Amino acid sequence: MLSKRIIPCLDVKDGRTVKGVNFVDLKDAGDPVELAWQYAQQGADELVFLDITATNERRKTMIEMVKAVARQLNIPFTIGGGITSIADAEALLNAGADKISINSAAVKDPTLIETLAKAFGVQFVVVAVDTKAVAEGNRVHLNGGRVMTALDTATWIKQAEELGAGEILLTSMDHDGTKQGFDLLLLDQISKSINIPVIASGGAGKIEHFTDVFLKTGVDAALAASVFHFGEIPIPVLKQELKKYNIPVRL
């Protein structure tokens, strides 16, 4: 059985790591390169960096930060934010990123998923999906959660898989930053409906939330931010606890 992955997420704004609640009220959480090094030492399996204002401000992800992170890390990392073309993705790959994450640009032009998958391989392409529950069901949101679309979340994720996404990073905006636990119902539904890995995101607050998401859904990885950034859950302690529940993890 493949090991379940623990992935710290670093939301980056103006070169600093930030964290908010329900995508707002951002607080400084430190230097991303320094944090990346610490997580690698602690046993994180991968890292995700999201330039959270790149799409909204029409800015490209900072290549220099990627190079600095790549020099520090011996674990895979994904970078997202403002990627709209093969040239953007290629620049990040050349700078040292292992995967790229696309979100708003993929919704606006779904063929981008196919283009990137053909150019670099499906394992390079992560499609990030920010979802929020509304009266009609779960709807995909864009631009850091600022813009609601008419897209049904499950339908869009299935389409992304068919177009060549290698992995889905699914963030529940309703749970994000609340520390009340992952959206288990949604994650279980999505992970059972597709054949590519799902990364659970949004809601981690204590160790039990990680055991729940691995025991009660089919996700392949769990991502969190503030509980790691502020030292509330040390990664080695988390992994030892998961091991007690016979959840396969890399120690």
CATH number for the domain spanning 137: value is 3.20.20.70
Q: Quickly count: other Cβ atoms within 10 Å of residue 183's Cβ.
A: 26
Please check the confidence at residue 136 and state whether its pLDDT lies above 80: yes
More confident residue, 122 or 31: 122
Mean pLDDT of the chain, nearest integer: 91
pLDDT at 60: 59
250 within some domain: no
45 within some domain: yes
User: Mapping DSSP to helix (H, G, I), strand (E, B) and coil, where does residue 182 land?
Assistant: coil
Give the tens place of pLDDT for each residue, 143-172.
Answer: 767 899 999 999 999 999 999 999 999 999
Please check the confidence at residue 23 and state whether its pLDDT lies above 80: no
133 within some domain: yes
Number of domains in the chain: 1
- Say how far apart CA 160 and CA 113 lie, in whole Å: 7
251 within some domain: no
Enclosing domain of residue 49: 5-245
49 within some domain: yes
Say which amino acid occupies 209: H
199 within some domain: yes
Catalytic residue among 88, 98, 130, 212: 130
Please check the confidence at residue 64 and state whether its pLDDT lies above 70: yes
CB 2 within 8 A of CB 248: yes
Give the tens place of pLDDT for each residue, 183-210.
Answer: 999 999 999 999 999 999 999 999 999 9
- Say how far apart CA 46 and CA 169 lie, in whole Å: 13
230 within some domain: yes
Active site residue 11: yes
130 within some domain: yes
Q: What's the chain's Rg over C-alpha atoms? A: 16
